[in-house]
Chain A
């Protein structure tokens, strides 16, 4: 069960966190992040919908070597300061980490294992086209426990529209190989995409279940400004991406996956029992995490921030009174959140989880709680306030109302 750290506890005792799904306590006097993200900002080709930070290149690009070397150096430096001591989960994301190939990825993953000795979950993102046997072997060898494959669809026409560089067959074959290798396999699927029908969507869902995956993420496509997809459909009504279609496909996914033994635990995430992604849960539960690499996002409390500053010299000094810091190396901007803002953020992020937040966290804001219940966005279940079906699909209404509490 995930549990949100209460506002008071976070403000007075940074570094303390009850980790969801475990009872491990990290000593107060040793600041450490609980989750580590490593960003590999390279792809074979940029997908038509992607506006995330990544550079298209080939596996032979010497840049990849120097990037891995630099990342390894940074990880060691962070380790030397003790910042990764209590780290429980790690996630190598992208971009396309598998583009690095077996030896480079093995080196990076091995380093992660070395610098973060107490990992209980270690995920690596993969694309079917670069998830070679070599890469799989390297992952297993360096104790990667979980793999998240960007499948997106099991329909070739749809994959083509998205600008993906692999076929459905290739994806199936590689996912099956990952399952056989003994890894916990998660796949990403996209809905409300061009040429998708209710039938093809159901086929993609059933297809990945049949492959033996234990975790599925379901995202309706967002047409982001500046992407090739945006330009292509700029003057189109895009009925296939209409919010009614998005809602219907999300509901379909919930029905199909629930019937097959998956449980939705977050807006977009479904898992078989015991297979939830603890790393992603960290993002929604106020647990400090560190991102290493160009586009990686970090969230740190004051003590972790002060430590991280010794390694990441570009970080500006901490604003007095700030209880939470968010930054990415890419834009070089640090957001300093007050304790009230951090509290409101925890409420908003907690509501992404199906088990929501503790009802008492809103004791000080009875009118907001009553309004959200009255609007049918949340309901009380035991001592928790959880999003309703409507609160799931209209999450922004709910999160917006909670984030508004940041202003006193």
Chain B
């Protein structure tokens, strides 16, 4: 690939609310620029992380270079930077956007502006990006491009006269979109002669070559063999290889000012290569690192235990392997009387937690129990010290606690006006307080509120979706700590306290949650040979109770002409089911019981 004149480089990202068609548009661009052919596209999709594919979300950032022969006769270098599409990864998104000069804002012509459209547009504007609005799915009969155009102007204050109407599905309008990118997105600016200054957008681990960083070069240039340094920790290393993804890796002699590509660091420890950090020369250093770097801090914590404790070491190995490509993952050992040895694992958010748990089960074939998610509580003790508590079982006895503070979020919901009442009720149920409300248009209202993170990580999002028939969209950011009247709710099975089922809850909701949880556990725990009482307790006080009836009949009476195999298979299926349960005392408890708190219906 020949070096491109800097004036012909366009670095941009595609941002959108989930399901508005970001990936299909990316695919069409790759196709139209002949970067990949249709059949390879499918193959490539199969090869990437299957959880991303299944859930239609992007977890890792990525950058692909495509060459576009524009109508003006020039051959442009496009660096298409794919960003994670979920609020758990806002920091990662902001780092990716920092590498761009422009952003294509995709809005679904049938849905209009939604919460993440707004938050992504704001992130892009804060990063001083040129925004190219694109109205997608215009092939659908219910498309309303004119209404959506107005909404973009009204809600986002982005001139949308020139918004390109496209269909990721049919490919219509993609050519116009590419032309707009050439004209609207400015070329990168920087000093090609200055010392190297490159931003790390993301990194991944390659078993043979160590950590590979995706970088954007702001000043200077980088070539294989250069002696470099990571600025945050002053970590020296050697650039073993540089290149670009198209989408397969293609090594180059050099990444020049303004370009985006990969850099093989040769470092074996992923923790040394941090998203947002700046790379510069070991001897010729840049004056200032790229702004905005900070360490990702876990927000949600959960206990993860192997059902069979002999797999404890395997779980540790699996976590370590995942961390290689997901440095934000943190954990400490945790011991539970009920579940044995496991880990308290910290995540960026709920989605991050689900993805990690799924990958552990799927890629490492582990049978795991996850306990109900918790947040990082700041517990101020009577002796004047503060401890951070991320697991209910670490909460000191009430006599020793002066006060507990919990993390709060500033959250935004965008919803049609008809559902404002339903959302308000949901907020009240989840200890949220409304701060203000703005009518964005006749069809959408933006509600702002403060809410404890602990409430949001329960079933808030699912309930929001169901109570608004799927119309509401949610966005949030951490706002700080505030004191709350919190208590620890314990659960007893057959009279024995099960520490792994305890959780921290607001005193006002304790009775309701205790009752709901006992009822839910009754549904989840199968009948045993004897009756199992389930009790909820605060301290020594029992506040709720339910009972799993004793098993009465479990035998296959019918004999199909001596078909014994059929009976045996049934027994084997039952045995498999039991294996996935945890024996606590004499009670067999299914995995999902430990997450029952997420399923407690408030209604």
A residues sitting closer than 8 Å to B (CB atoms) are 35, 37, 39, 52, 91, 93, 218-220, 222, 243-244, 246-247, 250, 267-268, 280, 282-283, 289, 291, 295-299, 326, 328, 335, 345, 348-349, 375-376, 390, 392-397, 399-400, 403-404
Contacts and interface: CB of A to CB of B under 8 A. Distances in A.
Interface stretch (B146-154, B354-362, B386-394, B555-563): B555-563
Identify the interface centre among B552, B554, B562: most chain A CB within 10 Å of its CB: B562
Given A283-B564, A400-B571, 14 more contacts: A91-B561, A218-B557, A243-B553, A243-B554, A246-B552, A268-B557, A295-B561, A393-B554, A394-B529, A394-B552, A394-B553, A396-B555, A399-B571, A404-B575
Nearest to A296: B561
A295 B565 CA distance: 13
Contacts of B554: 243, 393-397
A283 B559 contact: yes
Contacts of A376: 529
B571 A403 contact: yes
B527 A268 contact: no
B554 to A, nearest CB: 5
B551 A394 contact: yes
B570 interface: yes
| Interface range, B side | 20 to 34
Nearest to B571: A400
Given A345-B568, A375-B529, A394-B553, A222 B561 contact: no
Contact of B557 (A267, A295, A326, A345): A267
A132 B564 CA distance: 32
A246 B551 CA distance: 11
A397 B530 CA distance: 13
Contacts, number: 97
A394 B527 CA distance: 11
Contact of B562 (A220, A268, A299): A299
A295 to B, nearest CB: 7
A219 B561 contact: no
A297 to B, nearest CB: 4
B553 A250 contact: yes
B574 interface: yes
A297 B561 CA distance: 7
A376 B562 CA distance: 28
A268 B559 contact: yes
A227 to B, nearest CB: 13
Contacts of A403: 568, 571-572
Given A243-B553, A244-B552, A400 B574 contact: yes
A233 B551 CA distance: 23
B553 A326 contact: no
Contact of A93 (B527, B551, B561): B561
Give 3 closest A-B pairs by Cβ, nearest first: A395-B555, A247-B552, A247-B553
B564 A396 contact: no
Interface in B534-579: 549, 551-565, 567-568, 570-572, 574-575
Contacts of A247: 552-553
Contacts of A219: 557-558
A390 B553 CA distance: 8
Contacts of A400: 571, 574-575
A297 B562 contact: yes
24 contacts: A219-B557, A220-B553, A220-B557, A222-B556, A222-B558, A243-B527, A243-B553, A243-B554, A246-B553, A268-B557, A282-B562, A283-B564, A289-B562, A291-B561, A291-B562, A328-B563, A345-B564, A348-B568, A348-B571, A393-B554, A396-B556, A399-B567, A400-B575, A403-B571
A324 B553 CA distance: 30
Contact of A392 (B555, B560, B562): B555
Contacts of B562: 35, 37, 280, 282-283, 289, 291, 297-299
B529 A397 contact: yes
B451 to A, nearest CB: 35
Nearest to A404: B575
Contacts of A246: 552-553
A289 B561 CA distance: 10
B557 A396 contact: no
A396 B571 contact: yes
Identify the interface centre among A250, A295, A296, A297: most chain B CB within 10 Å of its CB: A297
Nearest to B578: A400
B578 to A, nearest CB: 8
Contacts of B571: 348, 396, 399-400, 403
A393 B567 CA distance: 15
Contacts of A289: 562
B13 to A, nearest CB: 45
B559 A280 contact: yes
B565 A335 contact: yes
B577 to A, nearest CB: 11
B563 A297 contact: yes
Given A243-B527, A375-B529, A394-B529, A39 B551 contact: no
A136 B571 CA distance: 39
Contacts of B552: 243-244, 246-247, 393-394
A250 B555 CA distance: 11
Identify the interface centre among B549, B553, B558, B561: most chain A CB within 10 Å of its CB: B561
Contacts of A395: 554-556
Contact of B565 (A39, A244, A282, A297): A297
A331 to B, nearest CB: 9
Nearest to A283: B562
A282 B77 CA distance: 79
Contact of A268 (B558, B565, B572): B558
A115 B568 CA distance: 32
A273 B561 CA distance: 23
Contacts of A37: 561-562
Contacts of A297: 560-565
A197 B571 CA distance: 30
B550 to A, nearest CB: 10
A291 B553 CA distance: 30
Contacts of A298: 562
Contacts of B527: 243
A150 to B, nearest CB: 12
A390 B567 CA distance: 19
Nearest to B557: A268
A365 B383 CA distance: 58
A396 B570 contact: yes
A61 to B, nearest CB: 22
B379 to A, nearest CB: 44
Contacts of A39: 561
B300 to A, nearest CB: 35
Contacts of B549: 244
Nearest to A400: B571
Interface in B570-591: 570-572, 574-575
Contacts of B551: 243, 394, 397
A376 B550 CA distance: 14
Contacts of A399: 567, 571
Contacts of B558: 219, 222, 268
A335 B564 CA distance: 11
A393 B561 contact: no
A276 B574 CA distance: 31
Contacts of B553: 220, 243-244, 246-247, 250, 393-394
Contacts of A218: 557
Nearest to B555: A395
Nearest to B568: A403
A375 B565 CA distance: 26
Nearest to A403: B571
A345 B567 CA distance: 11
A326 B563 CA distance: 9
A218 B559 CA distance: 11
A397 B550 CA distance: 13
B86 to A, nearest CB: 33
A392 B554 CA distance: 9
A188 to B, nearest CB: 9
Given A399-B571, A403-B571, A404-B575, A394 B559 contact: no
